[in-house]
């Protein structure tokens, strides 16, 4: 049997490991090896493998035999390569000892720097650098870090000594202490160390190293590391590796320096070398912002040789890693070292631009390009953002739910009427309300954005705002509204005051921060075209269509047009009730609601028919050639009647009925739990004439449009089915009306009739329901409400606390609960297709625009997702990524 | 191959068929054969088998070859046996032709009587009976029946002739027409027949017979018969048989008569011969009530021989059929014929008495006795009933839901306050409200019964009334209440008016009808003991306990005692919130709700602790030795606070807080859909101190009671779990509190912690939830609400219409929806036991008292059902019957 190898060396242009050995060497160790092999000047060192960690824990915290010898051998090799020795009195080698597992666990495990310093070596460092302050500060830091991290001496012990020294000298900053001060502190640290541990601070660098290696392996199982792995579902790792690497310093003097650079501009994505650096500084100085770093171009003038080396290395690294690199470098006494490279974080526009450019440069494939942009980054491209300059300095006033993305600036108004009045005067307004109701639609339409103090992600305000593409912050509990005032903490804002909201983050700011509107580039369309190619070529087992379609939820022709421009391939949900909120429509509908008998109801409905038909025609024309799913009336009737006595009286006047009678009628509509009440197909059962009118309007509109030569594919959707018998009856009713219209119009239009699956019972009995359905559309908003027993209007009182206490991983109205609700969907898909193998299925709940939910829908073999117009591009990308992620 | 036999003869003491041949001969034919074989004097005849019907339809409505010959042969045999001939001019044989399938389909198919009469035979009948009127009337009836039933002549055609004849003679009743009149009518009938059909009325009895047989077979597939079979799920029958039987007449003269008798008294169950008869009468005369029938004992004096024969036959029939028989008999010219025997319909008390008596007489086994009583019949024994004498003549004013069984009489009051005020004065009151709320509890407790105009079977009024054992009619839509008036149709009732309600049927009557209270006999306890023996000996695969336990839902010590007396074997649901409605308790709880911070909440809760503890002690003592499941707080907090400004102001005064601040606080609790809101364990998460107090009270009470030597088995139930993490957290909290109490009290009490499965998601993820649960209790009320998406408070607006239109088979809140909700239960049982094979499971929803649901629970392998105290005996019986029905 071959002897197990425990330690892997890297340095001088070659390494024993490489990037593929992450599992054995950890991410950090593997990448240091990889860079070394590439000829990148990485400070040399060696990695103790994760197998040692595994053995250490399996063998009661004892190291495998042979490790010690390998360690010494590698150390010797390192000293030879560096021409320095640990603890040397003239030119000591200093090393860092760092953790590094196969999965990233930032900050969870231990790190020790400057190892190798002792009372002799510190003098060697003084000699070598000619900088006693630097040397003593490094020694001080090492004792503190070693004492605390490797030996468990309380942090306070050292901090207290440091603070006392500063107090004694009456200074505030560590930098105000000189070499002599630091030397004294080192003495005090050593005493404190001895007092705390009953042993002297070890002068033997090998002992220092051994204890540090112990500490890093020990930190693998510290509570926060265990918690982190559990939370992030990191499993089946052997343990951490330990990286021992020679230290380099950017603060050795004026010939030294440190910096960060990017292979392309991470803000714009442009292929321009971008970065910042500081001479005679440590990495933390660049980040801390005390000194102003210099642009990387300056280095070209300052030290052309180093600059050219850096350009050479960054080009090599980007080419090797095939993505924008974020590179840390240090110049030590005129010599360039690369400390780290990683894929750069970037803005949405940058992500798209770089992905498209790199694919065009043939650096990556189209598919890789599609994988390089997150759906959230696409979202950034579609909405105005707060001016980043002003945002930096602005303080967040309050934080609510990020209910509809994009930022908005406007003057506060507290009613929809005021919103409309101010808008007429050309004012930009922001509508602020406890919650909105359908009567506020007019005001919402003219407002720049909406802020509500109650309600969740699927409250009226949130849903309507998303539909309109208007920014919205909902359920912002810190905001308390009374009359014409809005209070946040102890600040009061009145009508007309300026505020700024960011619907992408849920933040609310005081004043007008100004907006910037990202431009939609041709890069984005190229990018989405590539995504669509992947999405539409997806092959799924047992599916009729290969592709995975993205539709939109749109209620009006204008919305349909927007969505189509964004790439929607049909309408998955057209809510007919929103069409009743026009002034004339509403009064006719109210007349229908309060009608005393069938004849009166039919008369009122006949007034509505032409309005509905006109809307449907507009939508069919906008979506010509694409399917349009139209949902018949869903909300309970009481949503359409006045709530206050004054409004009731007004309506009575308009309708010419007795106000008291009207009030009794309206009171009779009241429900304890409207969500679970007389709505959806239940209205279709008790008032068949309503659905009859709607079907007549749909099929009538389809015929008229078809006669013009426009291809129409109406899909009539019956909501809230709980038993197959409801669908059986209502489908028969609808067919009878549709056939009558077709006969009268003497036109052939192919229409289908399907149902929403949004009641748990419908999912459970999907095999029965499927017999009467041409399609299923999962209404995951209501399905989530009923599966969880959560009213989306009321969850604000406990769901935020649930998420905080980790009782819920996320808001189930934002991202589909795959365990519970998803189980019902999977069951319904299986049961439905067991009866009708080619049953078309899609999702039309709010989840249709959420990337994780879209992936679930793909895996659940749904034919399509449908989301609000402004999320269509996001869904197109998420769908393509789902296809890629699920290739077997 | 043996020749198929189509026709089966019966008569003269022997028959070719028997009772076991129902499938072939139909129920009627098989029983006529059986009685004949027993030596019972059944009028002879023969049965054409169901196979003929099957062949008839399979072969395009043609009869099998050979049938005709068999028919003639049997007819000849019948004529010989009777010594009469069809159509004979001196002494004609008359026969009936009746349908009879294997399953009873009463009134769905055709019947023809008096067949064989023609212009000659009618004269023979005149001769033989000496009663021309009788003969001509028989002929008239035959033509009418034959014309209508066999030939499809409209009923009106004949009725019109008859009416004209009466008009011409200026008489009102058929009986006022004499033989001459009837003879003329026969002539008119024959003319009308010929006019309608273009052929003469057939004089040939064979043609009459053939056409009648055709008609009966034809009626098998008439629309109403098809509908009936579909509705009653009657499947896989060959068809109907046809019974041709010689006619006997009780109206041949004074030596003739007819009657109905019961082998035991069907009202009391006493083993006393009971019956009524009329001489010179037809069966319909006994039923019609025009002449007053005589008690069967009179026959003993009037015709001792016939009487003794009848006694002999009835004894033989009861012994043979082993149940109370309901026997129809006819005496024709001094000769006794038995026309029919069947198991008698009986009252609840009679069912129990007869079952117990017959088992004691060794006529039937204990198990058969248990099968002889329906759960509804037991229900009759437990509640007052409206005096049957007065009920007979009373008209039903309105009908609502039969929400809580038993009848009640009282004077109308419209508020709980008035109810209490009148009750103090010693008045019997009936509380009439739109709906009740927790604040009405006091008034409900003193009322004789409750009538509400809205709300369903699980509305507040219904649930509380059942818990109290008070009769309740709920959701009585015909009743409209405004102020101090109640309107039904155009009648108005005011406070103080007497009304009577029947909560077992949902009926409402005007006035005081008087009540009778059935006595609970020792027979009932014997009967239930036998049921329990069967129930507790049940062996089910994979179940820990053999028996199938019946627990009760009880919130107070008094309820617990009642339930225990009724045989409850534990408490399945003790709702702690009902304990908060005492005056002092409520104010402390309200103080807790409006408290500004944790300290103030804890202070208020500490006031509640002793009350809760006292209640728990009472319950533990009442249920000593039996398990008690206590549910922690479930309803939303707004149920406990005032609703009107006046009440709010009053409470503010009591609590010493600012009324405006209190109002804001209360408004903040408002929810759109409280059913899906901040309640159940969600309160336990956001206000852990509430559950902590309750657990402290439960375990503290258990310790104190245990110290007295009483065995206590507290089971702490956490409601409304939707994710396992909720249970994980709340269980840990509860255990911490419980262990602290046990340590302080230095007592050992074994307690368990489990959860309600009432949220669909909890059922879907039962494997996850089970890991943290000692037991599951299915809360099928809420589970039904969420699985269907029905608010039980609001379903009144559409569920009745759904049932009427057959969109629902029954109200899913009354009887469990086994297809949908049951599927979730079965899934949860399977998933739960997959993780914890011995997980105790039961049901505590209202369905626990419904027999069909109890059977489902048994099949689903639940350990117990739990129901309101007054339904415990019903559940014990239903459970035993479930055991019997599911023996493999």
The stretch A237-243 carries a mean pLDDT of: 95
Q: What pLDDT, in 10s, does the model give residues A855-865?
A: 999 999 999 99
Q: What pLDDT, in 10s, does the model give residues A133-185?
A: 999 999 999 999 999 999 999 989 999 999 999 999 999 888 889 999 999 99
Q: Which of B383, B460, B638, B847 is catalytic?
A: B460
Kindly report the nearest CA distance between residue B441 and chain A, in angstroms: 20
Cβ–Cβ contact B797 with A under 8 A: yes
What residues are paired with A716 via a beta bridge? A630, A753
Contact criterion met (CB below 8 Å) for B732 and B669: no
Q: State residue A467's pLDDT score.
A: 72
Of residues A280, A248, A259, A246, the one with CA closest to residue A328: A259
Please work out, in degrees rounded to the nearest 5, the angle formed at the alpha carbon of residue B285 by the alpha carbons of B281 and B286: 100
The stretch B642-659 carries a mean pLDDT of: 90
What's the rounded Cα separation, in Å, for the pair B183 and B197? 21
Query: In this complex, do A797 and B677 lie within 8 Å of one another by their Cβ atoms?
Result: yes
Query: In this complex, do A761 and B806 lie within 8 Å of one another by their Cβ atoms?
Result: no
Rg, Å, chain B Cα set = 34
- Kindly state the helix (H) or strand (E) to which residue B234 belongs, with its residue range: none
Point out the residue among B682, B761, B805 whose CB comes nearest to the CB of A798: B682
Q: Which of A476, A703, A844, A857 is catalytic?
A: A844
Does the structure show a pLDDT above 70 at B288? no
The stretch B640-662 carries a mean pLDDT of: 90
Q: State residue A874's pLDDT score.
A: 95
Q: What pLDDT, in 10s, does the model give residues B824-863?
A: 999 999 999 999 999 999 999 889 999 999 999 999 999 9
- Kindly state the helix (H) or strand (E) to which residue A500 belongs, with its residue range: strand A498-502
Contact criterion met (CB below 8 Å) for B365 and B359: yes
Q: Is A583 left (phi over 0), alpha (psi -120 to 50) or beta?
A: alpha
What's the rounded Cα separation, in Å, for the pair A683 and A337? 74
- Cα A478 off chain centre by: 24
Q: State residue B606's pLDDT score.
A: 96
The stretch A259-279 carries a mean pLDDT of: 90
The stretch B290-295 carries a mean pLDDT of: 78
Contact criterion met (CB below 8 Å) for A348 and A267: no
Does the structure show a pLDDT above 60 at B440? yes
What's the rounded Cα separation, in Å, for the pair B54 and B24? 10
Q: State residue B293's pLDDT score.
A: 82
CB-based contacts of A441-447 (< 8 A; 24+ apart in sequence) = A441/A416, A441/A578, A441/A581, A442/A416, A443/A413, A443/A415, A443/A416, A443/A417, A443/A418, A443/A419, A444/A416, A444/A419, A444/A468, A444/A470, A446/A419, A446/A420, A447/A408, A447/A410, A447/A413, A447/A419, A447/A423
Q: What pLDDT, in 10s, does the model give residues A411-431?
A: 999 999 999 999 888 899 999
What's the rounded Cα separation, in Å, for the pair A77 and A71? 10
- For A553, A556, A564, A871, the CA distances from A568, given in Å and listed in that order, are 9, 14, 5, 10
Q: A460, A687, A761: which to substitute to probe chain B, counting the most B Cβ within 10 Å?
A: A761
The stretch B108-112 carries a mean pLDDT of: 85
Q: Is A160 a catalytic residue?
A: no
Query: Residues 453 to 472 of A: which have CB under 8 A from any B CB?
Result: none
Contacts of B382 by beta carbon, 8 Å cutoff, 6+ apart: B405, B406, B518, B520, B870, B873, B874
Percent of chain B past pLDDT 70, that is, above it, reads 98
What's the rounded Cα separation, in Å, for the pair B10 and B156? 37
What is the maximal distance between C-alpha atoms in chain B? 106
Q: State residue B846's pLDDT score.
A: 85
Q: Work out the angle between the directed axes of helices A872-885 and A851-859 (0-180°, nearest 10).
A: 50
What's the rounded Cα separation, in Å, for the pair A582 and A579? 7
pLDDT confidence band for A97 (50 / 70 / 90): very high
Cβ–Cβ contact B99 with A under 8 A: no
Percent of chain A past pLDDT 70, that is, above it, reads 98
What's the rounded Cα separation, in Å, for the pair B679 and B682? 5
Single pTM value for the model: 0.83
Point out the residue among B761, B768, B823 whose CB comes nearest to the CB of A764: B823
Count CA atoms closer than 13 A to A701's CA, side-chain side. Answer: 27
Contact criterion met (CB below 8 Å) for B325 and B343: yes
Q: What pLDDT, in 10s, does the model give residues A591-646?
A: 999 998 899 999 999 999 999 999 999 999 999 999 999 999 999 999 999 888 89
Q: Is B670 a catalytic residue?
A: no
What's the rounded Cα separation, in Å, for the pair B140 and B187? 9
The stretch A482-490 carries a mean pLDDT of: 88
What's the rounded Cα separation, in Å, for the pair A629 and A617? 13
Does the structure show a pLDDT above 60 at B289? no
Query: In this complex, do A805 and B671 lie within 8 Å of one another by their Cβ atoms?
Result: no
pLDDT confidence band for B114 (50 / 70 / 90): very high
Higher pLDDT, A756 or A663: A756
Contact criterion met (CB below 8 Å) for A852 and A815: yes
pLDDT confidence band for B1 (50 / 70 / 90): very low
Q: What pLDDT, in 10s, does the model give residues A740-753?
A: 999 999 999 999 99
Q: What pLDDT, in 10s, does the model give residues B72-101?
A: 999 999 999 999 999 999 999 999 999 999
Count CA atoms closer than 13 A to B881's CA, side-chain side. Answer: 24
What's the count of helices (H) and strands (E) in chain B, helices before strands? 35, 34
- Kindly state the helix (H) or strand (E) to which residue B861 belongs, with its residue range: none
Q: State residue A108's pLDDT score.
A: 79
Q: Mean pLDDT, chain B, as a whole number?
A: 92
Q: What pLDDT, in 10s, does the model give residues A547-568?
A: 899 999 999 998 899 899 999 9
Give chain B positions within 8 Å (CB) of A758: 789
Query: In this complex, do B761 and A793 lie within 8 Å of one another by their Cβ atoms?
Result: no
Cβ–Cβ contact B817 with A under 8 A: yes
Range among A422-431, B439-448, B588-597, B625-634 rated most confident: B625-634
Ranges A730-739, B313-322, B416-425: which has the least confidence: B416-425
Query: In this complex, do B673 and A675 lie within 8 Å of one another by their Cβ atoms?
Result: yes
Give chain A positions within 8 Å (CB) of B765: 819-820, 823
Nearest CA in chain B to A823: B764
Cβ–Cβ contact A807 with B under 8 A: yes
Q: State residue B702's pLDDT score.
A: 98
Range among A125-129, B220-224, B782-786 rated most confident: B782-786
For residue A110, the SS3 value is coil
Place of tokens 């909560």: B503
Q: State residue B287's pLDDT score.
A: 58
Of residues A784, A795, A788, the one with CA closest to residue B723: A788
Q: What pLDDT, in 10s, does the model give residues A869-888?
A: 889 999 999 999 999 999 87
The stretch A455-476 carries a mean pLDDT of: 82
Nearest CA in chain B to A765: B820
Q: Work out the angle between the directed axes of helices A659-668 and A583-594 (0-180°, nearest 10).
A: 80
Give chain A positions within 8 Å (CB) of B761: 787-789, 817, 820-821
The stretch A683-689 carries a mean pLDDT of: 96
Q: What pLDDT, in 10s, does the model give residues B467-481?
A: 777 899 998 988 999
Cβ–Cβ contact B782 with A under 8 A: yes
**Tokens standing for residue B244:** 């041709």
Point out the residue among B672, B820, B823 whose CB comes nearest to the CB of A791: B672
Does the structure show a pLDDT above 80 at A542? no
Point out the residue among B676, B802, B824 whose CB comes nearest to the CB of A791: B676
**Tokens standing for residue A444:** 């919402």
The stretch A686-705 carries a mean pLDDT of: 97
pLDDT confidence band for B518 (50 / 70 / 90): low
Cα torsion angle, A785, A790, A794, A795, sign: negative
Secondary structure (DSSP) of A212-226: HHHHHHHHTTSHHHH
Query: In this complex, do A676 and B794 lie within 8 Å of one another by their Cβ atoms?
Result: yes
Point out the residue among A676, A758, A787 whose CB comes nearest to the CB of B673: A676
Secondary structure (DSSP) of A259-304: EEEESS-TTT--S--EEEEEES--HHHHHH-SSPPEEHHHHHHH-H
Cα dihedral value A789, A794, A798, A803, nearest 10: 80
Q: B483, B636, B675, B789: which to substitute to probe chain A, counting the most A Cβ within 10 Å?
A: B789
Q: State residue B858's pLDDT score.
A: 96
**Residue B541 per-residue DSSP state:** T
Query: In this complex, do B764 and A787 lie within 8 Å of one another by their Cβ atoms?
Result: yes
Query: Residues 677 to 736 of A: which have CB under 8 A from any B CB?
Result: 677-678, 682, 685-686, 720, 722-723, 725-726, 729
What are phi and psi for residue B733, nearest 5 degrees?
-55, -50
pLDDT confidence band for A286 (50 / 70 / 90): low
Q: Mean pLDDT, chain A, as a whole number?
A: 92
Q: B230, B434, B672: which to substitute to probe chain A, counting the most A Cβ within 10 Å?
A: B672
pLDDT confidence band for A458 (50 / 70 / 90): low
- Kindly state the helix (H) or strand (E) to which residue B778 belongs, with its residue range: strand B775-778
Kindly report the nearest CA distance between residue A820 and chain B, in angstroms: 5
Kindly report the nearest CA distance between residue B678 and chain A, in angstroms: 7
Q: In terms of C-beta density within 10 A (0-12 exposed, 13-18 middle, 19 or more buried), how is residue A594 classed?
A: buried
Query: In this complex, do B805 and A764 lie within 8 Å of one another by their Cβ atoms?
Result: no
Q: Are strands B92-93 and B385-386 parallel, antiparallel or unpaired?
A: unpaired
Q: State residue B433's pLDDT score.
A: 94
Q: State residue B605's pLDDT score.
A: 96
What's the rounded Cα separation, in Å, for the pair A842 and B307? 77
Secondary structure (DSSP) of B15-56: ES--GGGHHHHHHHHHHHHHHHHTT--PPPEEEE-HHHHHHH
pLDDT confidence band for A287 (50 / 70 / 90): low
Q: State residue B544's pLDDT score.
A: 65
Q: What pLDDT, in 10s, does the model give residues A22-77?
A: 999 999 999 999 999 999 999 999 999 999 999 999 999 999 999 999 999 999 99
Of residues A885, A875, A878, the one with CA closest to residue A569: A875
Rg, Å, chain A Cα set = 34
Q: State residue A544's pLDDT score.
A: 65
Nearest CA in chain B to A668: B797
Query: In this complex, do A685 and B807 lie within 8 Å of one another by their Cβ atoms?
Result: yes
CB pairs under 8 A between A and B: 174
Cβ–Cβ contact B804 with A under 8 A: no
Point out the residue among B678, B760, B823 whose CB comes nearest to the CB of A798: B678
The interface predicted TM-score of the complex, written ipTM, equals 0.83
Point out the residue among A726, A802, A823 whose CB comes nearest to the CB of B685: A802
For chain B, the first-to-last Cα distance in angstroms comes to: 37
Count CA atoms closer than 13 A to B219's CA, side-chain side. Answer: 26
């Amino acid at each position: 049997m071959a002897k197990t190898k425990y330690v892997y060396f890297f340095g001088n242009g070659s390494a024993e490991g490489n990037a593929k050995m992450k599992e054995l060497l950890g991410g950090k160790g593997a990448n240091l090896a990889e860079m070394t092999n590439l000829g990148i000047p990485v400070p040399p060192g060696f990695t103790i493998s994760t197998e040692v960690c595994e053995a250490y824990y399996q063998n009661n915290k004892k190291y495998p035999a042979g490790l010690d010898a390998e360690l010494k051998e590698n150390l010797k090799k390192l000293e030879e390569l560096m021409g320095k020795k640990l603890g040397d009195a003239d030119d000591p080698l200093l090393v860092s000892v760092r953790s590094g597992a196969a999965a990233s666990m930032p900050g969870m495990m231990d790190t020790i720097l400057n190892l190798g310093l002792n009372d002799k070596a510190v003098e060697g460092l003084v000699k070598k650098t000619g900088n006693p302050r630097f040397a003593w500060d490094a020694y001080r830091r090492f004792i503190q870090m070693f004492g605390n991290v490797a030996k468990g001496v309380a942090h306070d012990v050292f901090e207290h000594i440091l603070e006392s020294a500063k107090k004694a000298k009456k200074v505030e900053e560590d930098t105000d202490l000189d070499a002599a001060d630091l030397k004294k502190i080192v003495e005090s640290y050593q005493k404190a160390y001895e007092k705390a541990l009953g042993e002297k601070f070890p002068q033997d660098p090998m002992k220092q190293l051994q204890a540090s290696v112990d500490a890093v392996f020990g930190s693998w199982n510290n509570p926060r590391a265990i918690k982190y792995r559990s939370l992030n579902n990191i499993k089946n790792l052997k343990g951490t590796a330990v990286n021992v690497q020679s230290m380099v310093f950017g603060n050795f003097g004026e010939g030294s320096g440190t910096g960060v650079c990017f292979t392309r501009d991470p803000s714009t994505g442009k292929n321009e070398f971008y970065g910042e650096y500081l001479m005679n500084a440590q990495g933390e100085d660049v980040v801390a912002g005390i000194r102003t770093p210099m642009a990387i171009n300056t280095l070209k003038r300052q030290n052309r040789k180093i600059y050219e080396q850096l350009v050479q290395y960054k080009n090599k690294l980007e080419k090797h890693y095939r993505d924008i690199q974020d590179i840390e470098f240090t110049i030590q006494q005129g010599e360039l070292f690369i400390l780290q490279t990683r894929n750069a974080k970037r803005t949405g526009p940058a992500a798209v631009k770089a992905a498209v450019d790199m694919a065009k440069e043939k650096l990556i494939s189209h598919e890789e390009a599609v994988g390089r942009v997150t759906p959230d980054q696409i979202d950034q491209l579609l909405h105005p953002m707060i001016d980043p300059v002003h945002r930096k300095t602005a303080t967040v006033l309050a934080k609510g739910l990020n209910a509809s993305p994009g930022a908005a600036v406007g003057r506060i108004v507290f009613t929809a009427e005021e919103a409309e009045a101010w808008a007429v005067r050309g004012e930009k307004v922001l509508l602020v309300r406890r919650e909105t109701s359908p009567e506020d639609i007019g005001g919402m339409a003219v407002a720049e954005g909406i802020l509500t103090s109650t309600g969740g992600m699927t409250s009226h305000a949130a849903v309507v705002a998303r539909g309109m593409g208007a920014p919205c912050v909902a359920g912002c509990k810190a905001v308390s509204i009374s009359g014409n005032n809005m209070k946040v903490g102890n600040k009061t804002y009145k009508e007309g005051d300026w505020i700024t909201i960011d619907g992408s983050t849920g933040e609310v700011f005081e004043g007008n921060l100004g907006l910037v509107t990202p431009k939609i580039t041709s890069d984005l369309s190229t990018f989405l075209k590539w995504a669509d190619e992947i999405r539409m070529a997806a092959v799924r087992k047992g599916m009729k269509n290969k592709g995975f379609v993205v539709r939109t939820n749109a209620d009006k022709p204008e919305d349909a047009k927007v969505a189509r421009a964004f790439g929607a391939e049909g309408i998955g949900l057209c809510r007919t009730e929103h069409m009743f909120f026009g002034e004339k429509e509403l009064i006719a509908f109210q007349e229908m609601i309060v009608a005393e008998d069938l004849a009166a109801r039919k008369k009122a409905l006949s007034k509505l028919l032409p309005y509905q038909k006109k809307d449907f025609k507009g939508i069919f024309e906008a979506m010509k050639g694409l399917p349009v799913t139209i949902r018949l009336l869903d909300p309970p009737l009481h949503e359409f009647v006045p709530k206050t006595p004054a409004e009731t009286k007004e309506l009575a006047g308009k309708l010419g009925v007795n106000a008291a009678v009207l009030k009794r009628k309206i009171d009779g509509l009241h429900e304890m739990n409207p969500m679970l009440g007389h709505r959806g197909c239940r209205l279709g059962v008790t008032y068949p004439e309503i659905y009859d009118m709607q079907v007549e309007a749909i099929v009538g509109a389809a015929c008229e449009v078809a006669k013009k030569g426009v291809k129409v594919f109406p899909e009539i959707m019956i909501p809230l089915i709980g038993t197959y018998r409801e669908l059986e009856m209502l489908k028969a009713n609808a067919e009878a009306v549709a056939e009558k219209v077709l006969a009268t119009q003497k036109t052939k239009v192919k229409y289908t009739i399907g149902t929403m699956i949004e009641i748990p019972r419908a999912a459970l009995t999907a095999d029965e329901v499927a017999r009467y359905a041409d399609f299923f559309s999962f209404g995951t908003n209501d399905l989530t409400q009923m599966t969880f027993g959560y009213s989306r209007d009321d969850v604000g009182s406990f769901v935020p606390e649930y998420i905080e206490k980790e009782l819920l991983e996320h808001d189930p109205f934002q991202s589909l609960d795959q365990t519970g609700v998803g189980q019902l969907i999977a069951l319904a898909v299986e049961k439905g297709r067991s009866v009708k193998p080619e049953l078309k299925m899609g999702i039309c709940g709010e989840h249709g625009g959420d990337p994780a939910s879209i992936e679930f829908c793909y895996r659940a073999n749904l034919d399509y997702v449908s989301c609000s117009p402004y999320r269509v591009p996001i869904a197109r990308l998420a769908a393509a990524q789902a296809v890629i992620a699920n290739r077997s």
